[in-house]
Amino acid sequence: MIRGSLPIIILTIMGIFVLSACTNEQTATTNGETVDNEIQNNNGTNQEKKDELVLPDKKLTIDSKGNDVQQLQTILKKLGYDIKASGTFDADTEWAIKDFQSQQVKLAATGIYDKSTKEWLEKALNGSFNIKPGKGIAKNKATVKESDTITVSNPTDKLVLVNKQHELPDGFEPKDLVVPDVPFPFKEDLPKKYMRKEAAKALEKMFTATEKAGLELYAQSGYRSYNRQQVLFASYSEQHGEKEANKFSARPGESEHQTGLTMDVTSPDIKFQLNTDFGKTDEGKWIRENAHKFGFIIRYPKGKEAITEYQYEPWHLRYVGKEAAKVIYEQQITLEEYLGVLKV
């Protein structure tokens, strides 16, 4: 009985070993396929990470080169800018950055890619900040020739640029002129007492602050019509010659005073005059450090004459709004630099 059963037992045991071996082989094969699949999946993930658009951390400017520039250009293209991802920060890339910056009031349109610009580009990529390529600065208006004169299309905008290359439209006159409730060194109801309403309200708040600081600030000259500017410039030209006169007085149509957004200020210490000595007075020093808090900038700052093309005028205040004024003050730039429009 035992002898007859022995072959059957041996065959059964051998079958178990064969079945076990096959099972182990199948498991090994399955595990191998699993490992291969994991490797392939990881490679795919790594490739996706490689292809992911990441904004550079380093500061980039004209003539910068490399992968960071190419990545930036690729992202700008994704946002709709018609530029090449060449890896060289060229004029087109600078324009695209300027245009993007000019559509956010908290950015100066410098054309330089920096930390602040990166933050807003990230917002544009995730859809929380909408832009329209070319809306801020048209390619052909990013720079202007010194001999060119452009008639501005946004004369009522508080950020309107008025200078020797950007003139106001014929017959322009603000419709919301009012007299700010601030002290003047004269009592007559003259046009130069007036400002646009928003600017006038901001001026009143600033004057209230100067009074609390124990200062004596006076408003001297605000709105000036085209005709009045024409008379003044002709008079200065007769006395000093047109070229010399244009260093401190604007040609008619090119004066910021005509916008109604400007006020010249003075103090008793300089006998209510408008000259550079104002910058040395307590009132002038306070204005230099605090005017931006109320939306005003010193339009023609010292050391920027080559850009503004006017002499230093510490008394000439221009209303641009608090956000823009803060950027201009903190970066110590001009309105031209803020808007990214410079002459060549």
Question: Catalytic amino acids?
Answer: 313
Quick one: tokens of 156? 């009522």
CA dist 189 and 174 (Å) reads 18
Task: Tell me the CA distances in angstroms from 220 to 224, 225, 263, 315, one per residue in order.
Answer: 12, 16, 7, 9
Identify the CA nearest to 254 among candidates 229, 276, 280, 288. 229
Cα 296 from Cα 317, distance rounded (Å): 6
